[in-house]
Amino acid sequence: MLKLDIKKQFNNWTLRVKITNEKKRLVIWGPSGSGKSLTLKMIAGLMEPDEGEISIKGNILYSSKKGINLSPQQRKIGFVFQNYALFPHLSVFENLAFGLKAFFNKNGHKEQLKDKIYYIAKRLEIDQLLDSYPKQLSGGQQQRVALGRVLLIEPDLVLLDEPFNSLDVALRYKLRELFVSISEDFNLPLILVTHDPEDVKEIGEEMAIIQKGLCICARPIPVELIKSNRQQLQDPIWDYIKKQEIFLDKESSKRYISYAHPVETEINKENPKRCSTKHYIKSFMSFQLKKIFLTKKL
């Protein structure tokens, strides 16, 4: 589906992300300031990487080697921004219609487009709000308008930047379910960026961890994580995500990365265990294990 291999130098740090995913819903998890949102911006074409390649379903969107860099308008990628980015001067209906170029043409089939907008609005339960303005909506309603606006352009991929950040817990559950069902119904690939472990569990089919600008692993989420409840879960990745305060120190991070790249960032469909982060993540949690890991590696 998505093939991502990008590098970008900022003032005093480098963003280096390499992910190849196969399934429909990828969750990129990482603490704040790790470079997740920047990665999304580069996928959408809102920021240019220094080098690398981005492709979706074999279509190259960016390639420094081939000199390709499609504009955001050409990429057909929907972007749901963290603060929703609804246009405050336009009504909900106008916001939804904003991506339908034909709507602005005199000869566009307006009636047909209107039906399409009403259908999506009904599906997202915002059909009663079409005449309202974004300021009058609650956070959850704004979120659904932002999603509806993106769905109407029939994108190849939808990017979601911390979509549930400013919502209360009950609403998060409801919206997570909605996002998953929309993704299934419309056969729509999603990439969701979050620092909330629940999002990984509830939405993701595959996950990637970005920390301090580096993608340290990417792999399918084990079925147990999705189906079973947390107590029964043996997978250490979950523990790791829960303890998000744990950061790698620079030295171990370097070794870890050299070990993790490039094999561990390629999701191995046949043998997911092979890319399990189990061993080396544990090694960072205990000094003893780290020593063993390093000896093994050497």
Q: Which residues bind other proteins (CB under 8 A)?
A: 41, 44-46, 71-73, 75, 77-79, 81, 83, 85, 87-89, 98-99, 101, 133, 135-136, 149-150, 153
Among residues 136 and 234, whose Cβ is nearest to other proteins? 136
- Least CB distance to other proteins at residue 101 (A): 6
Q: What is the 3-state secondary structure (H, E, C) of the chain?
A: CEEEEEEEECCCCEEEEEEEECCCEEEEECCCCCCHHHHHHHHHCCCCCCEEEEEECCEEEEECCCCEECCHHHHCEEEECCCCCCCCCCCHHHHHHCCCHHHHCCCCCHHHHHHHHHHHHHHCCCCCCCCCCHHHCCHHHHHHHHHHHHHCCCCCEEEEECCCCCCCHHHHHHHHHHHHHHHHHCCCCEEEEECCHHHHHHHCCEEEEEECCEEEEEEECCHHHHHCCHHHCCCHHHHHHHCCCCCCCHHHHHHHHHHHCCHHHECCCCCHHHHCCHHHHHHHHCHHHHHHHHHHHC
Among residues 43 and 260, whose Cβ is nearest to other proteins? 43
- Least CB distance to other proteins at residue 276 (A): 35
- Least CB distance to other proteins at residue 76 (A): 8
Among residues 68 and 246, whose Cβ is nearest to other proteins? 68
- Least CB distance to other proteins at residue 237 (A): 31
- Least CB distance to other proteins at residue 81 (A): 5
Among residues 28 and 152, whose Cβ is nearest to other proteins? 152
Among residues 74 and 286, whose Cβ is nearest to other proteins? 74
